[in-house]
A and B are shown apart, each in its own frame.
Chain A
Amino acid sequence: MNAENSAVTAQALSQRIALTTRKLTLAYDGASVISDLDLAIPAGKITVLVGSNGCGKSTLLRGLARLLKPRHGTVYLDSASIFKLSTKEVAKRLGILPQGPVAPEGLTVRELVAQGRYPHQNWLQQWSKEDEWMVEQALSITDMIELADRSLDTLSGGQRQRAWIAMSLSQNTDILLLDEPTTFLDLAHQIEVLDLLYDLNQTQGRTIVMVLHDLNQACRYADCLVAIAQGQVVAQGEPAQIMTEALVREVFGLESRIIQDPVAGTPLCIPVGRRR
């Protein structure tokens, strides 16, 4: 597909909704974390979930990826409930990268990335040219070709995270969910990973939904920001529209000033602490 086509596709996608939740209630061992949540995730956009620790944003992401069975309600992928579709069918359309995944010792980058092809294979069709192609493409996009035959435990944190993202890419899904893809990375590697995800969204029109800890990075990279507090959506929309000092107070219980990010022009949250 050429650039013009993908731009058209991206535009068409932007009017659509990728994932919808209806009265979604998620619970761990009885205590409900998310209750009666209605949320629509726009297709072809980057949506970022933010909120304080324990607000339920990671739980919500797990619910969206069908890793957690809801107590009530459901998640719709297009118009079908993801719990009604076969899990392999869902895996062809929706990829999830959990927080801090751990690979078995000695696993090479290429072996890991090849695992992304799992949902596209079956007993008859074990390993096709297309599988090979997707793995190479994923390695290439994440700039991991040079490191492809290295074992994961010999890589730096940033390289390792790129390898996991490459695995999600070879899965070749329209929707990609990521739980704190920048945890444990230093600042340069955080930006590297976020830029990579931004490029994927821009050039291929993939829908990206991620949980981020850093509010300013969230504002910079999100098309759609979802602020969550106590298992409820407090605000959803473009960062420039919804990021206010009042929202930060409500979501994080923190006094702050919002100024303009001198680089990106997006909202920048400056916390107010005791030591002014």
Chain B
Amino acid sequence: MVKPSSLIREKARSPQKVIGRSQALLVVGLALCLLVLFICLITSITFGAAEIHPNTVFAALTAFDGSTEHLIIRTVRMPRSLIALMVGAALAVAGTILQGLTRNPLASPDILGINSGAAFAMVLVLFLLGGVSAPVYVGFAFLGAGLTAIAVYLLGSLGRSGMTPLKLVLAGSALTYLLFSLTTSILILDQETLDEIRFWLAGSVAGRDVSLFLQVLPCMVVGLLMAFAMGKPLTTLALGEDVATGLGLKTGWVKVTAIVVVVLLAGSAVAIAGPISFIGLIVPHVARFLIGTDYRWLLPYSACLGGILLLLADIGARLILKPQEIPVGIMTSLLGAPFFIYLARSRVKR
């Protein structure tokens, strides 16, 4: 090994302070994000058709007395808000991983068709088998998400130049349309299924099945923890496959694991809340804008910001046509579509 020469010692300044300060800033920032997330969660629980005072919300959580208000909070609003939080976090982290992995600013589980794949698989199983148990249902969501991810990757890598951002997005769009048509065909054939899942298919966190949520919750938690553990290798992989390999990273393993995590997160998010779009696209950009390129920080920040954004979107979905509610997926699309156009115009090279 080459040892540092004494000449250089004098020139080098001590940088620990600089790094120490910015690390402290990142910790404080994350704590702030968590605080905002908590406030959004409480706000989401407080807002609704029945006017309930925040104090009552706290009372329902800490000292449950069985009253109607407390029941509403515990059985309706709490699950809804927690689902919004977890689904937002899962989709945002999946998007962050995909954007890093493909080095593509437009990558996200919805743009690449992974959400549509999960949704189609679930509609299909509902159509063919009727009512199935929750684990089967969720399993099909993972299957659909996984197969679509593989298909998009293969389609996007066809041709001489290998995988390019544009080809990947085009492959994702093509598959999204195909899967959407197939899903619609099934629903036309089977009116009953349509009524059951109309809201879900637009992306909704309201009135979801709590037992189903409890089924996917462990998958989401495992997916998020796995994602957080991958921060370091993902940061290195973002330098490009050759550089990362040169630095001793087992890039094949990282990619496979990352795709598994994405399928786990996107699949469980779709299973519970339907194919909610644009959260996975917008949040990674906001997180990168705030804190840079270090995935050890980007991933937890994305999780927080994703939770915040979907909670806010869901609050908006309740207020915008009050007393009517619209599915939160429509809210996120209203927010996301202009952002997508902005990205496509400014950030995509070639």
Spell out A's residues near B (CB within 8 Å).
Answer: 1-3, 6, 62, 65-67, 86-92, 95-98, 101-108, 110-112, 115-116, 118-119, 121, 132-137, 139-141, 145, 148-149, 171-172, 174, 203-206
Contact = CB atoms under 8 A, between A and B. Distances in A.
Given A91-B246, A95-B246, 8 more contacts: A1-B5, A67-B246, A111-B293, A115-B236, A118-B247, A118-B248, A132-B15, A135-B15
Contact of A106 (B103, B235, B292): B292
B250 interface: yes
B345 interface: no
Nearest to B18: A149
Contact of B239 (A91, A103, A132): A103
B4 A132 contact: no
B243 A101 contact: yes
A5 to B, nearest CB: 9
A95 B244 CA distance: 11
B294 interface: yes
Given A98-B240, A137-B12, A140-B11, A107 B292 contact: yes
Contact of A115 (B1, B235, B242): B235
7 contacts: A87-B245, A87-B248, A102-B240, A118-B247, A121-B232, A133-B4, A171-B247
B103 A104 contact: yes
B11 A98 contact: no
A68 to B, nearest CB: 10
Nearest to A171: B247
Interface of B: 1-6, 8, 11-13, 15-16, 18, 100, 103, 232, 235-236, 238-240, 242-243, 245-250, 288, 292-294
Contacts of A88: 248
B106 to A, nearest CB: 14
B239 A203 contact: no
> Which of A91, A103, A140, A206 has the most chain B CB within a 10 Å cutoff?
A140
Given A67-B245, A115-B236, A136 B12 contact: yes
If over half of B's interface residues share one DSSP class (helix, strand or loop), that class is named, otherwise mixed; here it is loop
Task: Give the 10 A-B CB pairs with smallest separation, nearest first.
Answer: A91-B248, A88-B248, A136-B12, A96-B246, A119-B248, A98-B242, A1-B3, A118-B247, A140-B11, A104-B238
Nearest to A66: B245
A135 B18 CA distance: 14
Given A119-B247, A203-B5, A104 B12 contact: no
Contacts, number: 104
B15 A2 contact: no
Contacts of B236: 115, 118
A133 B292 CA distance: 23
Contacts of A205: 2
A137 B8 CA distance: 6
Given A96-B242, A104-B238, A132-B15, A118 B293 contact: no
A121 to B, nearest CB: 8
B248 A92 contact: yes
A98 B243 contact: yes
A205 B3 CA distance: 11
B16 A2 contact: no
B292 A108 contact: yes
A203 B242 CA distance: 28
A104 B239 contact: yes
A204 B245 contact: no
Contact of B2 (A89, A115, A116, A206): A206
B240 A132 contact: no
Nearest to A89: B248
Contact of A136 (B15, B100, B248): B15
Contacts of B246: 65, 67, 91, 95-98
Given A67-B245, A102-B240, A104-B238, A172 B2 contact: yes
Contacts of B100: 104
Contact of B1 (A97, A118, A174): A174
Contacts of A90: 248
Contacts of B235: 115
A183 to B, nearest CB: 15
A110 B238 CA distance: 15
A3 B3 CA distance: 11
A126 to B, nearest CB: 8
Given A65-B246, A87-B245, A104 B4 contact: no
Given A104-B239, A115-B239, A145-B11, A87 B1 contact: no
Given A106-B288, A107-B293, A110-B15, A101 B240 contact: yes
Contacts of B243: 96-98, 101
A109 to B, nearest CB: 12
Contacts of A108: 292
